[in-house]
Amino acid sequence: MSKFTIYELPLNERIRTFLRLEFLFQQTLYSLRGYSVWDSRSTVTSLLEISNILARIDLRTELLKELERQKKAIQGLSSVQGIDLQILQQTLASLNEKNQLLMTGTPNADPLKGNELLKMIRQRESIPGGTCDFDLPAYHHWLTLPPEERIKSLEIWLNHYDIYHGTLQILLKNLRESASIVSVTAKDGFYQQGLDSSSPAQLIRVLLEPECFYYAELSGGKHRFSVRFMTTENYERPVPYAENISFKLACCVL
């Protein structure tokens, strides 16, 4: 799977939020252990973006709803001929474990909301260049600490989100692996497919060979989706790639 370049289209607001959080957690973990001041700044910015999402939605409730939805869907697969019941039970056990942890071990609000340093940084983040040294001397002081101390603080802050991150990983893994990958053809660079409204799709995935000189633009809703292939030269204005293109597709319904 990793040999492909993958384009994804979430088909509802919940999965859209989950994918954004997944991206932010990946970005945070990438820069977390860097020793430079700029690594620490990048990590703080990513943490604040996670915090901002939590300020807008009740992530705990959304995760619990998705856990319950997936549990019901997976339980319904037990009667399917040829299903591996051991893997099914293992998957249900992991979902039940995360459900229990969310029910008993997570706050309803953002756990970093009361952090005074992060609160000061958050207030300046929306201003271009607003976190300069002269704007936030407390932040400047923190950034002059030894890298090991900064990393330790960042790890503590990130650990507050562990259960959210772990649950997201399992939910998105189950969703992505629930679909069979099929080969289809976009005629003249365009492909469209209807969706079964009785079994709503959650996520569309397009997989392309990495050496392709075109990319996929996905759009859609609950009834249908479309894929348009575009190309560009030196990243000027994109234009449609109007040739027949074979590509791989997965419609994740779980």
pLDDT digits (tens, 9 = 90+) for 37-84: 999 999 999 999 999 998 888 899 999 999 999 999 888 877 776 677
**pLDDT at residue 106, as a whole number:** 66
pLDDT at 1: 46
8 A C-beta contact, residue 161 and residue 224: no
Which residues of the chain form beta strands (DSSP E)?
Answer: 5-10, 182-186, 190-194, 203-208, 214-220, 224-231, 239-240, 245-252
Residue of 12, 33, 25 lying closest to 51 (CA atoms): 25
Q: Which pLDDT band, with edges at 50, 70 and 90, does 3 fall under?
A: confident
pLDDT band at 109 (very low <50, low <70, confident <90, very high): low
Greater confidence (200 vs 2) lies with: 200
Q: Which segments of 114-222 does DSSP mark as H helices, in order?
A: 116-125, 137-143, 147-159, 162-177
In one-letter notation, the amino acid at residue 225 is F
Mean pLDDT score of the chain? 91
pLDDT > 90? residue 200: no
Instruction: Enumerate the CATH 1.10.3900.10 domain ranges in the chain, comma separated.
Output: 13-175
Spell out the residues 6+ positions from residue 34 whose beta carbon is closer than 8 angstroms to its own.
40, 42, 43
Q: From 218, 220, 237, 221, select the one nearest 229 (Cα to Cα).
A: 218
% residues pLDDT > 90 (the chain):
70
The answer to whether 170 touches 94, Cβ cutoff 8 Å, is: yes
pLDDT score for 76: 81
DSSP 83: -
Per-residue pLDDT tens digits for 86-101: 888 899 999 999 999 8
The number of residues in the chain equals: 254
Determine contact, residues 38/249, Cβ cutoff 8 Å. no
Distance from the Cα of residue 103 to its chain's centroid:
22
What is the distance between the alpha carbons of residues 95 and 89, in angstroms, rounded to a whole number?
10
Question: Where exactly does CATH 2.60.440.10 map onto the chain?
Answer: 180-252
CA distance 9 to 74: 22
Instruction: Check residue 2 and give its pLDDT.
Output: 58
What pLDDT shows up at residue 104?
84
- CATH superfamily placement of domain 13-175: YacF-like (1.10.3900.10)
CB 173 within 8 A of CB 221: no
Token pair, residue 200, equals 């709503």
| pLDDT per position as a tens digit, 137-193 | 999 999 999 999 999 999 999 999 999 999 999 999 999 998 899 999 999 999 999
CATH 2.60.440.10 applies to domain 180-252: yes
